[in-house]
Structure 1
Amino acid sequence: MAQFRSLLFTPASRPDRFDRALASGADAVCLDLEDAVAPPDKATARSAALDYLARRPAGQVKVGLRLNGRTSPWFDDDLRAAANARADFFMIPKASGAQEFAMLQRALGEARPFWPLVETPEGLMRAWEIAAAPAVGGVLFGAFDYSAEVGCEMSWEPLLFARSQIAAACARAGVEALDAPPAAVNDDEALAAETDRARRLGFTGRACIHPSQVAPINAAYTPSAEDLARAQAVVTAFDTAAGGPALLDGKLIELPVARAARRILERARG
């Protein structure tokens, strides 16, 4: 399964933006039926998204659909429509447990991955089982809703525990972990700093809400030539030692270090 460095949310009520979203450089685009669409526009947005998915141009950019929540009045219509949609994946808001995905598999099939959003305390409590649920391709941290539910600030320190739990749960399950979109559209310094922090924490990519955020996020999650050279040197030294401890530039190379280096090389290969 391809890794998403960047995922761009686009309101499904704005079909004039769909082609631009696909041309933004994002690895994935998600047509949003939920938060980005006002209640009176839900039906029109759903029709616009399904029409675009049916005729979208072929390409490497994955295009998904974010449904409305299970408890919303629009979920049943979304689910019926999604069964025949040409979407590559489905975003599931406010995931609360692994039991939801059996129902979703029955309705939507097993061929396309689900991306649950962990954005409530209940969802965070069950993040480990959600990440490991059948057909889950990755988990997105819904920081905006989570901070509102908890009553904490939308800043790094108050959300560090939640991010750490999600990153660890996804690593254990072997699925991707996407960080929440940046809150500010025009703050390049904060975007770079927060994205780098999340990457170092274990996140594999980040969502965004504006095309201008795509390139910096892609850059943060693309290993540099120096990173790749160092990772290759670590792997070579470890393999030369036949799996035993090795020294490289005076530093001990053991299995965990070699595994981290291999992840960097795998990320570069996409």
Structure 2
Amino acid sequence: MQEYAPSKINLFLDVIRKREDGYHDLGTVFQTVDAGDTVSAELRDDGVVTLEYNEPQDYPKESDLVYKVAFALKKYAADHGDTRALGADLFLDKVMPLGAGLGGGSADAAATLRLLNRLWDLKLDPQVLESIGATLGADVPFLVRGGTAFAEGIGDRLTFVAPLDLPAGNVLLIATPLDAVPTKDAYAGVPKSGPDRWEQYKARWNGAASVFATESLFNAFEISVFPKHPLVAQMKAKFLELGAKCALMSGSGASVFGIFESRTDAEAAALAMHPISRYQTITKFWHR
């Protein structure tokens, strides 16, 4: 049994305030894209959970959200009266880059929730899966369902809207430079804007008619990331130089995405940026 794990980009992202608990309130627009990993599972009846990869990873599997979410789901089932010895052999076909601002690890966790919900015949509603996912990562609840959504708080308060599609004939190019942005780098020095910019953005929301306008695309983390990671800034500039209608860093970096009017244009841009990229894909928006 398999489950696709589409990743995400942020079409808008503002940092509103720092909270007393040390986290930050955000205002962002999540959008799933047709680029991601694949999680597979085979049922075990002895309660054991294993995890293997298509390629060796640079972190212990016990820290992988795929592994953690399996045990969180097992615990939820047990706490609600399921006495079965739920187990699975999990396999993660990892394609998406780490530290890229694309939510790859969270997407894998969300896909694992959906997959094990089917494999173990738990019949849990998406809202329950989202609540379990929220204990492991702020992006996981959105990625359980995917599509297009406003997210507030730490990204866990979701308002789903009509799914977006790219304009006819347009394509999305995502590229991750030969750099990674630690989350602490992004948050250090990022301005706290207050609620006004985010509230104004929501008020003028008109789906695709407004979201792709250059003046609507905004990511506050570019302000803190670009000076410390000039290769990310260079990549965004290259996107625009090479013909992107618009371009923006995703999440806290380091990936940049741009919308091109044709696949031919996107392929030419991807080729030009290949020497400074560790990951590239030409794709489209994704929704169920």
Normalising by the smaller structure, the TM-score range is under 0.3
Structure with more relative contact order (C-alpha pairs < 8 Å, separation 6 or more): 2
- Kindly indicate which of the two structures has a greater share of residues assigned to helix: 1
Alignment TM-score, normalising by the size of structure 2: 0.26
Alignment TM-score, normalising by the size of structure 1: 0.27
- Kindly indicate which of the two structures has a greater share of residues assigned to strand: 2
